[in-house]
Structures are given as structure tokens and as C-alpha cells.
Chain A
Amino acid sequence: MVIRKTPQQIKEEILSVLNKGPLSVEQIRRKVESNWSTINTYLEELKKEGKIKEIFSADKAKIYQKLLGDTYFDIPITDEERKKFRTLFSLIMQEYKSKGIVPTKTYFAKCAVHVIKNEESGLSDLPIVWYIYGLIPQMIADPSQDYQKEWNLEHRIKIKNLIKEFMDINKNKSSGQIQREQHKEYGDELYILSDEFFEIVNRQRFENEEILESLNNFFIACPIDNEFSDIFNLTEKVLSLIRKLALLEVKLEDYRKEISTTFDSLWKFIALYKLYKSRTTGKNALNKETLLKFYIGNPLDSRKKTLQESLLELNSVYMSKLAEFDISKIKLSEEIKEIKSIMEDWTGED
């Protein structure tokens, strides 16, 4: 006897096959083993319910993506990873609640990373990524959610001890301080330098030299990646604009807002690239093309546009100072003269 699947079962199966990434209608139809018309009907229903979205439509080839809502940029994680994350999050919330504290999002995420990074937790396979504020779990740690135990964690006691250890070490620290310390602990120089830059620019007073030194270190540490030439090229664009303002004898402190906003836009662009790198290297690396095409590509473009808009504002400050400046009064060091002499025959031609 053939057992007919209920609509609910078919919808769950569709959602389940979309867990690993976007699929075309034909791919979904084959995996769910149903006919075209049935699949189309339920895909439409799931779309209306906000559980999936159509991300690419060409002639006869619709592609559907599951809307997870619980991971950064909806990047897929497996069911097992989701259950483990939720169970870990529930343990963290329990510990905080037992002390009568509701953790901030930063505490929550950093505590999860502290546990996952410790190999004895048995959770080191869970995906963690570098993003704007440092290392975070790929699944969004949201303190307002009611997480429940969904997985039997083998090293539950060790995990609880790690959570307690984190709470103990960090009990009197601000979110910002925890973030900065994490950047140092896990050793990403670019994050340390970005913290340093924001610290200087947010001071009541700062000298041009302090900003310039910080940006010089940032330039040295900036990654250069042939697949993502924009990362270095846009970094240089931002840094060079600030350096040139200083060369034109502008007091950078007077343009704190413009400088800070531009650097912030740059940082958000770089952070998304760091997230991409985190998920495309190491254990459980995702396919680069899929990640770019369906999850990161559009946000990257939109951040690039935001950065270019911020650059326009800072550039208008620079242009307003440019005409009146007498460049010949800048003294050239012997080193610069030597560099110029080496580059004299360089025309930049392809």
C-alpha cells in the first residue's frame, strides 16, 4: 500500500533538503520524490509563510533558499550543529540565570566561543567566524530566546566549567573590553589594530601622528588577496585619503566624525570578507562560489557602496583643502628621493 505524505510532511521534507543550501525546483522535486505540480504548490506556500525565498529566477529555473533567521546571513548549518548550538546556548543561559544575570549579546557570543575553542568541550567542530566584533558562533546567540537542551553533549560537565570560568574571568569587564581581549587572545592583528584606531579616534584629543601610526600598522597588516583585490585597494583608498589630509596640514581631530564613519564602513566591509574567509577555510569549509553567490555577494556589494559614499564625504573635505596647498613646501627625505629614483622608469603600463 502506498502511504500518501501529508502536506505538512512534504513541506518539512522540502525545508530539510534546503538545509544544505539553495536548490532548483527540479532538484527539490527529485530529493523529495514528488511531482512538479505538488512541489510548486508547497514551495509557494512556504514562500508565503516566509520560510523560504526565491533567490534566482531564470527561464524554467527557480532556485529556492531556506530562510533560517538564526544564522548570520542565513548561511546554512547542519541540523546537528543547530541542535548542539542550541544546547550550548541553553547551558550558558542557565549559568547566567543562576547568578541572576541576563548576559548581553556580546557576553553570550564570546562565552560560546570560549567553550567551542576549547578542544576538551568536544564542540570544536561547531562553526565560528570572524566578524565585525571578533570571533562569534555562526549561529546567532540571542539572549532573548528560550533555548532548550536538544542534544546530549558528551562533555557537559567540562562545558559547564568552561562557562563558569568565562563568567568568572569576565564578570567585571565591559563588552568592549571582552571583545578587545578576545582579539588579542585569538591573535588577529587586524582586529587589534582596528580596536586601536577606534580607541584613538574616540579620545577627546588626539594628534595626527597617533592616527597615522595606527593606520600605517593597519596598512602593513592588511591582507592582500587576488580573489578580493577590493579589500586592499579600498583600504589603501581610505588610508591614503586620511594620510593626504594630514600632509595638507589638516588637523584630523577636526574631521573626527568623517574619518571615524569612513573607517567604520571600511571595517564592516573587511569584517564581511573575514567572515567569508572563516567559512571557506579550515574544517567544514563551505563552497566559495555558493557562499558568494547566495549569501555574501549582495551584502558585500552593499557594504562597498556604503564605503564609497563615506569616502565621497571625506574626499570632499580633502578637495576643499587641495587647491590652496603648496606642495613644494613639503621636504623630501633622502629615502623618498631614492624610492622615486627607483620608480622613475615605471610607467604603470600593462
Chain B
Amino acid sequence: MVKNNFLDTNVIFNYSNYIQGGSKDIIKKCYLFIKDKQGKFILCGAVLEELSNIIVKRANIHKAVIRKIETEEFSFENLISKRDIPFAKKLYEKLRNQNIKKISIELAKERDLSEIAIQQFLKIQVDERALPLEQINNELVNKIHDIISNHADCKILASALQFQKDKDIFLFVTVDAKDLDPNGYDFLKEHFEINYSKEKYKFPELLNLMFVN
């Protein structure tokens, strides 16, 4: 039987960045997974929140690049996080000698196309919206935090676990290579079995597109 799919943010974001014939493997996998849809797509409030944060962050990176091109003394550290700086630097090196107005137009178009893809996906492809933010069980989020450090990931996983409770097993679809590789996911399940066996948490089946051909 075809299982339903509880989608992680990274799958949708990668899908939105697909270019025909020009994307790396993992982006192509996410694109094809959504295009060749099988089973329902389920989306939770925490994913919507993270998507919206990512959209804001990307605009901030682009703005920082424009500021740097305008004023060489401008420091990326003033505006964007450490993790984002290498990307801003690469963009800056690539674009620094071009006309600033043209650069701003191209960067905006890149953001806009990705946003249109996300918003079209949300409007057309999503079958079920699960767990608005206010329904996320914070206690459960904290329990996941013992193993996974990223707070947004914990909220998404907690939503998936809460939603899974009285449903047939669905797929938790992600491309997270850090915390949610198959071993990491098994470790998390084990941690719950040992420490919270009474609560009888039911885990969705992991589908990490990073690890499938």
C-alpha cells in the first residue's frame, strides 16, 4: 500500500530550487519526489514556519551581498549568521564587478521563482495540514532535543510523532544528512524506547532521500 508523506522543510526548499538539467542530484531527487507524487503530502505548522524563516534569511543574504558591493568596508558579520557567510562571500566574489541594479534584479528573481514554486506547491500539492504551531507538545520537543540539537528540526519531528499517534504509519521524508540519517533516526527511536517506553511513541518510517537511489 502506498504510504502518505510527512514532508520536512528541506525537501520543499530543494524542490523550489530545481533547474531543469542544471541541478545537483539531491535537488533533482526532491523535485522528482514531489513531481511523481505517490500518497498524500502532509505538512505541519513547524515546516511552514521554517520555510517562511528561510525565505526571510535568503533575502537578508542577498541584501548583505548588495550592501557589500555598494560599500566594500561593510562586514557580513553585521547582518547574517556565521553559517550563511560563506554563501554570501561566494555570491559577492561572483557578482562584485557587475552593475548593482542588475545584480539586485537577478537576485530578486532567484528568490521570487523559488517562492512561487513553494507557494504553488503549498496551494496545489499539499493534501493535509497537520499540527498548527500552538498544538506542538513542548515536552516532546524537549525530549527530542536530548538527541537532536536543531530546534526547528525538533519541532518538526515532534509534530510528526504527534500526528502519527493514531494514524497508519506514514513516511517522514527528509534530506537531512546530519541528524536524520538512517542510523541517527534509529538511535532516536532507541532513545525513546529506552527512556519513554510508557508513552509508546509511534515513529513514522524514515525516508531520507539522501540515502536512496
CB pair A240 B152 closer than 8 Å: no
B100 to chain A: closest residue by CB? A220
Cβ contacts under 8 Å, B111 to chain A? 240
Interface residue tally for chain A (C-beta within 8 Å):
43
Stretch in B12-20, B134-142, B186-194, B195-203 with 4+ CB within 8 Å of A: B12-20
A96 to chain B, nearest CB (A): 43
Cβ contacts under 8 Å, A220 to chain B? 66, 70, 100-101, 104
Cβ contacts under 8 Å, B152 to chain A? 349-350
Q: Does B165 sit at the interface, judged by CB under 8 A?
A: no
Cβ contacts under 8 Å, B75 to chain A? none
**A-B contacts besides A332-B113, A336-B106, A346-B84, 5 pairs, CB < 8 Å:** A247-B116, A248-B116, A332-B19, A339-B95, A344-B17
Q: Which of A219-271 contact B (CB under 8 A)?
A: 219-220, 222, 224, 226, 232-233, 236, 239-240, 243-244, 247-248
B24 to chain A: closest residue by CB? A344
CB pair A219 B104 closer than 8 Å: yes
Q: Does B211 sit at the interface, judged by CB under 8 A?
A: no
Cβ contacts under 8 Å, A343 to chain B? 17, 58, 87, 91, 110
* Interface SS, A side: helix
Q: Which of A291-350 contact B (CB under 8 A)?
A: 319, 322-323, 325, 327-328, 330, 332-333, 335-350
Given contacts A322-B116, A346-B87, A348-B54, contact A337 B81 (CB under 8 A): no
In this complex, the member of A216, A232, A323, A344 whose beta carbon has the largest number of chain B beta carbons within 10 angstroms is: A344
CB pair B59 A236 closer than 8 Å: yes
- Kindly supply a per-residue 1/0 record for chain B positions 107-132, scoring 1 wherever the CB is within 8 Å of any chain A CB and 0 otherwise: 11111110111011001100000000
Given contacts A216-B108, A226-B78, contact A327 B66 (CB under 8 A): no
Cβ contacts under 8 Å, B9 to chain A? 348
Given contacts A226-B78, A341-B22, contact A240 B66 (CB under 8 A): no
B166 to chain A, nearest CB (A): 31
Cβ contacts under 8 Å, A40 to chain B? none
A-B contact list, 16 entries, CB within 8 Å:
A220-B100, A220-B104, A224-B60, A224-B63, A233-B59, A240-B108, A240-B112, A330-B113, A332-B113, A333-B106, A340-B19, A340-B23, A342-B90, A343-B58, A344-B17, A346-B87
A215 to chain B: closest residue by CB? B108
Given contacts A340-B17, A347-B13, contact A247 B113 (CB under 8 A): yes
CB pair A325 B63 closer than 8 Å: no
Q: Does B213 sit at the interface, judged by CB under 8 A?
A: no
Given contacts A240-B115, A322-B123, contact A340 B110 (CB under 8 A): yes
Q: Which of B67-97 contact A (CB under 8 A)?
A: 67, 70, 78-79, 81, 83-84, 87, 90-91, 94-95
CB pair B116 A244 closer than 8 Å: yes
Interface residue tally for chain B (C-beta within 8 Å):
58
Q: Does A281 sit at the interface, judged by CB under 8 A?
A: no
CB pair A339 B150 closer than 8 Å: no
Cβ contacts under 8 Å, B1 to chain A? none
CB pair A232 B63 closer than 8 Å: yes
Q: Does B27 sit at the interface, judged by CB under 8 A?
A: yes
Kindly state the separation between the CA atoms of A132 and B156 in the bound complex, as whole angstroms. Answer: 42
A36 to chain B, nearest CB (A): 44
In this complex, the member of A213, A248, A341 whose beta carbon has the largest number of chain B beta carbons within 10 angstroms is: A341
Q: Does A217 sit at the interface, judged by CB under 8 A?
A: yes
CB pair A338 B81 closer than 8 Å: no
CB pair A342 B94 closer than 8 Å: yes
Cβ contacts under 8 Å, B169 to chain A? none
Kindly state the separation between the CA atoms of A349 and B95 in the bound complex, as whole angstroms. Answer: 24
Q: Which of B20, B79, B107, B117 contacts A226 (CB 8 A)?
A: B79
Cβ contacts under 8 Å, A332 to chain B? 19, 113
B176 to chain A, nearest CB (A): 8
Kindly state the separation between the CA atoms of A347 and B178 in the bound complex, as whole angstroms. Answer: 12
CB pair A219 B108 closer than 8 Å: yes
Kindly state the separation between the CA atoms of A335 and B24 in the bound complex, as whole angstroms. Answer: 17
Q: Which of B27, B63, B113, B117 contacts A344 (CB 8 A)?
A: B27
Kindly state the separation between the CA atoms of A340 and B27 in the bound complex, as whole angstroms. Answer: 11
Cβ contacts under 8 Å, A319 to chain B? 119, 123
Kindly state the separation between the CA atoms of A10 and B168 in the bound complex, as whole angstroms. Answer: 75
Given contacts A220-B101, A220-B104, A224-B67, contact A243 B112 (CB under 8 A): yes
Q: Does B151 sit at the interface, judged by CB under 8 A?
A: yes
Cβ contacts under 8 Å, A222 to chain B? 63
Kindly state the separation between the CA atoms of A338 and B87 in the bound complex, as whole angstroms. Answer: 12
Q: Does B4 sit at the interface, judged by CB under 8 A?
A: no
Kindly state the separation between the CA atoms of A219 and B24 in the bound complex, as whole angstroms. Answer: 30
Q: Does B32 sit at the interface, judged by CB under 8 A?
A: no
A33 to chain B, nearest CB (A): 48
